[in-house]
Amino acid sequence: MSQPAGDPQAAALAARLLPQVPRLARRVVERIRSEVPGFDRLPSDVQDVEVAATARAAIRAFLLHAQGLPGGSADLSRQRAVQRAEEGVPLAALVQTYSVGAEVVVDALAEAALPGEEAALLRLTRQQMRGMGAAVAQVTEAYVAGAGDQHVAVRELTWALLRGERPADVAARYGLALEPGYLVLRVRTAHGGDPAAARAALRFVLARTAPCADGRALSLRDDLGGFVLLPASCPVEDVVIPAVAPAAPVVGIAPAAFPEAVPAAAARADRIAAVAGRPGAHRLSDVLLEYHLTHQVDSTAELVAVLTPLSGHPELLPTLSAFLDADLNRRHAARTLGVHANTVDNRLDRVGELTGVDPRSARGIQLLGAAIVVHRTLARGPLGLAGGVRAEDDR
């Protein structure tokens, strides 16, 4: 629709505002960030890039139309509506962003209007209101048709689980079922800060876990990649992320025995991914030493448990301790224990078989040594192993 003839004042007012489009778009983003609930959930690239670009396009289109010039199409707004639905932004919040944008434009028109342009200002204000109504109708249709209420409900449930914000109530409101427990995956792209890489990383993990998820995976994207929640029935061994794949992300994995445990599991999975630092799927046992050194609060029990398989073999823990205390000298350890050096070798081999940690490797020395130190510190009585080995027997 072109501008009616004989309205030069409205066209002139719109033309004066056109150079201010970037500033007005930034103002729209600032107000949406402070006024629209849930906007801060979105990744920063969505807030500062996508929403700003949508606002610029819409404001420019309106001002060009007011001058009788082609103003573009609504395709971008419809596309963004579908994306916001996929990211769990409620429809009411999305509609509110258009109201905010219209207010910013009307305020700017009022500031730019000159004396004698009152009628032109009123005409453009009415046009803006009509345009906002049409845009809201279009994006609402795209939102519902492109994503659907069920998809939005799943996103809302994922958010509630990760935040621990009454997930049972959210599930009941949308008629969804909670899993008895979840396997929480923290997905971190190897290319931090790249929005496209973050999306690709999350899609990669969802595709790899689809067989065991059986259509019940939940996910939520963020700046680094995002979170994937799988049913607890999905074996952790089935989560295989090839480290050499082009889009392979870093994935930390932690179980949540029940829905209310998801926030703690998400925090643990995030720390696992952070200390792992390399593509592939990582459990706590894979990065236990690094994890414990950087966050001892919730890893002491797991570190101590590294030695649990030795509990039924009372000769192995003293041999391991003697070997480490002898600065890895097997002959010195043998003299301390009163056995042959070959016996020390055989026992160390057995320690590796039972624990899965090679006591002769650099990492094994660090991990087993740290576990023994924690045992000695925390258990000056019984060591805590089922076999009843005592700390004073370690030497």
Domain boundaries, the chain: 8-146, 179-284, 304-393
On whether the 8-146 domain is CATH 1.10.490, my answer is yes
Calpha distance 278→291 (Å, rounded): 14
Among the listed ranges 201-210, 253-262, 334-343, which one has the minimum average pLDDT value? Answer: 201-210
| pLDDT given at position 262 | 95
- Mean pLDDT computed over 160-183: 90
Task: Indicate if the pLDDT at residue 263 is higher than 60.
Answer: yes
E strands along the chain, which residues?
Answer: 182-188, 218-221, 225-231, 250-256, 280-282
Which one is predicted more confidently, 278 or 167? Answer: 167
Contact 38, 90 (CB under 8 A): yes
Task: Indicate if the pLDDT at residue 133 is higher than 70.
Answer: yes
Which one is predicted more confidently, 228 or 191? Answer: 228
- Mean pLDDT computed over 14-27: 93
* Nearest partner of 215 among 244, 179, 246, judged by Cα: 179
Position 42 confidence tier, pLDDT thresholds 50, 70, 90: low
Contact 367, 288 (CB under 8 A): yes
Counting every residue, how long is the chain? 395
Task: Indicate if the pLDDT at residue 17 is higher than 80.
Answer: yes
Q: Which residues of 65-79 are buried (b: 16+ CB within 10 A; e: fewer)?
A: bbbbeebeebebbbe
| pLDDT given at position 383 | 33
The segment with the largest mean pLDDT, out of 41-45, 100-104, 271-275, 381-385, is 100-104
Position 72 confidence tier, pLDDT thresholds 50, 70, 90: low
Instruction: Tell me the per-residue pLDDT of 81-114, one tens digit each, with 9 for 90 and over.
Output: 777 766 656 778 888 989 999 999 999 999 999 9
- Mean pLDDT computed over 1-23: 79
Task: Indicate if the pLDDT at residue 252 is higher than 70.
Answer: yes
Mean pLDDT of the chain: 81
Contact 102, 68 (CB under 8 A): no
Work out the widest C-alpha separation in the chain, in whole angstroms. 108
| pLDDT given at position 21 | 94
Among the listed ranges 212-221, 302-311, 345-354, 380-389, which one has the minimum average pLDDT value? Answer: 380-389
Task: Indicate if the pLDDT at residue 144 is higher than 90.
Answer: no
Instruction: Tell me the per-residue pLDDT of 326-342, one tens digit each, with 9 for 90 and over.
Output: 888 888 989 888 989 89
| pLDDT given at position 216 | 86
pTM of the model: 0.48
Contact 77, 139 (CB under 8 A): yes
| pLDDT given at position 235 | 85
| pLDDT given at position 156 | 85
Residue matched to tokens 């999350």: 202
| pLDDT given at position 123 | 93
Task: Indicate if the pLDDT at residue 127 is higher than 80.
Answer: yes
Position 11 confidence tier, pLDDT thresholds 50, 70, 90: very high
Calpha distance 193→140 (Å, rounded): 30
| pLDDT given at position 375 | 67
- Mean pLDDT computed over 173-189: 90
* Nearest partner of 75 among 94, 58, 92, judged by Cα: 58
Instruction: Tell me the per-residue pLDDT of 278-324, one tens digit each, with 9 for 90 and over.
Output: 888 899 888 777 777 666 666 677 777 888 888 888 889 888 888 88
| pLDDT given at position 249 | 87
In CATH, the architecture of 304-393 is Orthogonal Bundle (1.10)
Among the listed ranges 40-44, 307-311, 355-359, which one has the minimum average pLDDT value? Answer: 40-44
